[in-house]
Structure 1
Amino acid sequence: MIAYNPKDWFTFVFRFHKADTLRKLAPLILGISAYCAIIAYLELEIFQLSQNNHLKNISMMNNLLSFVISMLLVFRTNTAYDRWWEGRKLWGSLVNNSRNLSIKLNAILGPTEDEEKKFFRRIIPMYAAVLSRHLQTEQTRLALDTAEHPEWEHLDKNKHMPNQIASLMYKRVTRLYEQGRIKGDQLIVINAELQAFTDVCGACERIKNTPIPFSYSVFLKKFIFFYVMTLPLSFVFSLGYIAIPVVAFIFYVLASLEMIAEEIEDPFGADENDLPTEKMSDNIKKHVSEIFAS
């Protein structure tokens, strides 16, 4: 995710970054400009249609379509941003759940450092790291540290990794309960925190695996394309060759809104505007280690 100062207008206007839509749309903008130049030359120089009132009425159609397309784009961008913001709230919940579980287990297990506390110090932040990779790739890749972890050798990387990590945590908590180190009322409290991990994972998967309906996305792209294709037919009469940069700019604005919506509707990808889940995973690891060290 790009960190920036929202009050720095000058930098926003004149700075081009990797995710800037102008870079990605440059070939299409040049193509639209060439198309508009051809239409302007044919209308003004070859066919001399500047006095044709029937073609001038196309501007009325463009005015009506401009209202419709603006409503569609507003709905599109709002829906995409809602998905991005929901993903951010879910990962905020994961951060809090990791802290709460660590605080409770650290208090219950006591101040003495033992194998159980070492296990939870490693496994709790491991869930966030695994979930981050799970949401970014089709197959989860578990990156372990250089230490030996024999309790994880039986994990199947071809299966749902977050579920396996959550199962390990719950099994260890159950064993502590059977050993008498965790009381019944404490188990109920810890169970709520453990359940929250899976709830966050399921909600994130719902966002990732349920994109905007295909028909809607395709229709909006076609609508933008054909709308821009008809603009030169009316703009040339009133603007002449100035219609070339005007149409190109309109296409840039409309297509950029669609591209921005496409990028943020999946907040768990690797784009610059996606959520920094790996950074949040590192922060969880840092905070959990601090809690268990106290």
Structure 2
Amino acid sequence: MRKSLKKNMIDYNPKAWFTFIFRFHKADTVRKLFPMFIALSAYSALIAFLELELLRISPNSDLKQITLIHSLLGFVISLLLVFRTNTAYDRWWEGRKLWGGLVNNSRNLSLKLAAMLPASNTASREYFRLMIPNFAFSLKNHLRNKFVVEELQLPAGIQLQADKHIPNQVAGLIMAHVHELYRQGQLSGEQLITINAELQSFTDISGACERIRNTPIPFSYSVFIKKFIFFFVMTLPLGYVFTLHYLIIPVVVFIFYVLASLELIAEEIEDPFGLDANDLPTDTISANIRKHVAEIL
């Protein structure tokens, strides 16, 4: 019995505000950052105790002037995080467009083959009915560095080599069968040219998805943002404790939550082909391709 496909993208109602506020799920940044919340609370409480109770530093001391530096750096860090999240979302959206193109090209190729192939050639129709969706499933698992042969529906006599590029093998088998039909005279040269764009698009989409997966944000940029957030938050209690007193504890935790959450969200969506909660629903898309191709052919 075939196992149901797991949805890795969260379904939600964007108008349900109160549901969002009180809902926690496995992708929620609160869960990931909670240990840091505890550490920052203890750190902020320690700084407040030292400055207010133990050392009794004057509220007019030079330490209070550090708040001016935070005012200036706050604008800089906001620009960096906006650029970071926008860049990550562009990668996520480009991945979604590529998979949308794969859906359309799979349907178009199926429609053209259904119209071009003789009705008597049931073997070729069955071959393409299986192999066209196989490309989507093989690409999905290839982008996750997996080879799940159980998800592929291979025609009799067809075997794939797990140590080689699986999507390329599937696309090559489809191309080879099309050209064999041309040599047999069941497809004309004009028809071959007509379906060439869809055949070529498979490897184009595969290469574009690999470019997104294999080219993360530059290491130095990612490290700089993390260090910037860390030192910005760790120096907050030094100056603001004179104004907020022990209220500095929840304030520092909340500021860290906002800044670090933006960075965590960007990290999660910059590679949209994995199994994170906010990644693309490639399992569902692949299953829909198989369903629609089967309906056409």
Q: Distance in 1 between matches of 2:97 and 2:20?
A: 27
CA RMSD of aligned residues (A): 1.2
Amino acid at match of 2:278: N
Q: Is 1:14 the counterpart of 2:18 in the alignment? A: no
For residue 136 of structure 1, give the secondary structure of its aligned residue in structure 2.
Answer: coil
1:85 to 81, 86, 93: 93
CA contact (8 A) 2:80 2:225 kept: yes
Provide structure 2 residue ranges, at least 5 long, that are not aligned to the other structure: 1-8
Provide structure 1 residue ranges, at least 5 long, that are not aligned to the other structure: none
For residue 23 of structure 1, give the secondary structure of its aligned residue in structure 2.
Answer: helix
Could you tell me which residue of structure 1 aligns to residue 277 of structure 2?
272
Q: For residues 108-127 of structure 1, give each alpha carbon's deviation from its aligned partner in whole angstroms, at most 9, with x where no partner exists.
A: 01334511000000000000
For residue 143 of structure 2, give the secondary structure of its aligned residue in structure 1.
Answer: helix
Amino acid at match of 1:108: M
Q: Distance in 2 between matches of 1:176 and 1:128?
A: 23
Q: Is 1:151 the counterpart of 2:157 in the alignment? A: yes
Could you tell me which residue of structure 1 aligns to residue 50 of structure 2?
42
Q: CA deviation at 1:152?
A: 1.6
CA contact (8 A) 2:130 2:155 kept: no
Q: Distance in 2 between matches of 1:37 and 1:268?
A: 41
Could you tell me which residue of structure 2 aligns to residue 215 of structure 1?
220
1:251 to 227, 250, 256: 256
2:149 to 131, 135, 142: 142
Amino acid at match of 1:143: E
Could you tell me which residue of structure 2 aligns to residue 195 of structure 1?
200
Q: For residues 174-233 of structure 1, give each alpha carbon's deviation from its aligned partner in whole angstroms, at most 9, with x where no partner exists.
A: 000001111111101111110001100000000000001111101110110000000001
Q: Distance in 1 between matches of 2:105 and 2:139?
A: 14
CA contact (8 A) 1:127 1:166 kept: yes
CA contact (8 A) 2:131 2:154 kept: no
Q: Distance in 2 between matches of 1:244 and 1:219?
A: 25
Q: For residues 119-148 of structure 1, give each alpha carbon's deviation from its aligned partner in whole angstroms, at most 9, with x where no partner exists.
A: 0000000000000000012x4333256x77
CA contact (8 A) 1:141 1:157 kept: no
Q: CA deviation at 1:149?
A: 3.3
Q: Distance in 1 between matches of 2:98 and 2:58?
A: 58
Q: Is 1:165 the counterpart of 2:170 in the alignment? A: yes
Could you tell me which residue of structure 2 aligns to residue 234 of structure 1?
239
Could you tell me which residue of structure 1 aligns to residue 116 of structure 2?
108
For residue 216 of structure 2, give the secondary structure of its aligned residue in structure 1.
Answer: coil
Q: Distance in 1 between matches of 2:176 and 2:296?
A: 22
Q: Distance in 2 between matches of 1:120 and 1:283?
A: 16
Could you tell me which residue of structure 2 aligns to residue 97 of structure 1?
105
Shift in CA distance, 260/173, structure 1 to aligned 2, threshold 3 Å: same
Q: Distance in 1 between matches of 2:58 and 2:84?
A: 37
Q: CA deviation at 1:57?
A: 0.6
CA contact (8 A) 1:140 1:158 kept: no
Q: For residues 20-45 of structure 1, give each alpha carbon's deviation from its aligned partner in whole angstroms, at most 9, with x where no partner exists.
A: 00011000011011100000000000
Q: CA deviation at 1:53?
A: 2.8
For residue 262 of structure 2, give the secondary structure of its aligned residue in structure 1.
Answer: helix
Could you tell me which residue of structure 2 aligns to residue 263 of structure 1?
268
CA contact (8 A) 2:118 2:186 kept: no
Which 4+ residue blocks in structure 1 deviate beyond 2 angstroms? 50-53, 110-113, 139-145, 147-151
Could you tell me which residue of structure 2 aligns to residue 126 of structure 1?
134
When structure 1 is superposed on structure 2, of 116-125 and 105-114 the one drifting more is: 105-114
CA contact (8 A) 1:134 1:141 kept: no
Could you tell me which residue of structure 1 aligns to residue 188 of structure 2?
183
CA contact (8 A) 1:140 1:160 kept: no
User: Could you state the TM-score of these two structures normalised by the residue count of structure 1?
Assistant: 0.96
Amino acid at match of 1:205: E
Could you tell me which residue of structure 1 aligns to residue 6 of structure 2?
none
Q: Distance in 2 between matches of 1:215 and 1:141?
A: 35
Q: Distance in 1 between matches of 2:108 and 2:236?
A: 58
User: Could you state the TM-score of these two structures normalised by the residue count of structure 2?
Assistant: 0.95
Q: Distance in 1 between matches of 2:63 and 2:154?
A: 76
Q: Distance in 2 between matches of 1:113 and 1:25?
A: 59
